[in-house]
Amino acid sequence: MKTVNVSLKDRSYQIIIKKNIFANIAAHHFSNYKKSKAIIITDKNVAKHYIKKFVSSFNKYKFDIQVIEILPGEKSKDLLVIKKVAEKLLKSNVKRNDIIYALGGGVVGDFSGFLASIILRGIKFIQVPTTLLSQVDSSVGGKTGVNTSTGKNLIGSFYQPTAVFIDPNTLKSLPQKEFMSGYSEVLKYSLINDKKFFYWLDLNSNKIISKNSKIMTEIINNCCIKKSIIVKKDEKELNHRMLLNLGHTFAHAIEKELKYKVKHGEAVSVGILMAIRLSILLNKTKHTNYNLIKSHLNKVNLPTSLICLNSKKKWNARSLIRNMLSDKKRVDKNIKFILLHDIGKAYIENSVSYEKIYLTIKEFFNE
């Protein structure tokens, strides 16, 4: 068992990483919340694999349990779905001391966290992430929210969970494409501030692809430590936490262009490479870094060009820039980028000319 502390004063919590963790979660509930109902929010895909096992570990203690299944995918991150589930909970007499468990990937986590933050003006929630993306990134740090017609995650809250329980074994049931898509976020951490981690990942590429249990546990632990340090420094993303958006300015524009019919992590993979390209154009980093990262992405079968993401689309650089400009989270007329001085040395670039952005994107039409 590995434990990572997220130190945030009265909002501090632990991340516990352990195989076959469900029994520990039920025992934790028994020790801390004996009188509370366990409200388990999950989606139908996750439920298929895990809900029986999860519920039976709780049944041992004869707790009051309620299971709520939402539809898989981003469409559930909607205020109307929040309202529907909130009303269901209220009708079943939810209490302020009840605990919401988010059993699933990023969508379930973001949805459940947001609901927990508003129902009865806030009840406790615990993350039980089952995808690589949610285990290394979205379940830690308290970003919660839903989407609107103007963009993703534009309604939400910073609301920290009271614990995160991670079972690396759940990765086994994840489709390979989804697993590798989550890996982009792992690579991101190494590029932000840990060159040694990058080389270690590169060395272990084959074991990563085959979901080697020891390697994956090591990766999850390392990423959770890294995220907890960043979140402790800058919980509300006023500056330092923005580094976690490496590759994301490009990725969000790509996702919008493809009407979100692309895996987030695959767009991040191309977005990361674009950010390195832009760093080279601005004379901030060496071309060899680009080659190293691209070769690593090739080894782990992640996309490296826009054509890899969608070969039928007529890609248009101006349209991607327009998507960046319409990003509602932008605070001034400049588009912010997270760029690299070196592998393991990311920084925030506040001002880049449109021409340089344009030239960068153009290079990804054919590669």
Residues that bind ligand GLY (CB under 6 A): 137-138, 141, 143, 237, 241, 244
Distance CA(238)–CA(313), nearest Å, equals 36
**Helices within 234-303 (DSSP H only):** 248-257, 264-281, 287-299
Q: Is the Cβ of residue 69 or residue 255 nearer to ligand GLY in the bound state?
A: 255
Q: How many CB atoms lie within 10 A of CB 287?
A: 10
Q: Is the Cβ of residue 184 or residue 289 nearer to ligand GLY in the bound state?
A: 184
Decide if 223 contacts 186 (C-beta within 8 A): yes
Q: The dihedral of CA 228, 229, 232, 237: what is its sign?
A: negative
Decide if 190 contacts 201 (C-beta within 8 A): yes
Decide if 2 contacts 18 (C-beta within 8 A): yes
Decide if 155 contacts 79 (C-beta within 8 A): yes
Pairing of the two strands 124-129 and 38-43: unpaired
Alpha-carbon Rg for the chain, nearest whole angstrom, is 20
For the chain, the 3-state helix, strand and coil shares in percent, each to the nearest 5, are 55, 15, 30
Q: Indicate the SS3 state at residue 43.
A: strand
Distance CA(128)–CA(22), nearest Å, equals 9
Work out how close the CB of 50 gets to ligand GLY at its nearest, in angstroms, rounded to a whole number: 24
Work out how close the CB of 188 gets to ligand GLY at its nearest, in angstroms, rounded to a whole number: 9
Tokens, residue 72 = 């898989």
Q: Is the Cβ of residue 138 or residue 147 nearer to ligand GLY in the bound state?
A: 138
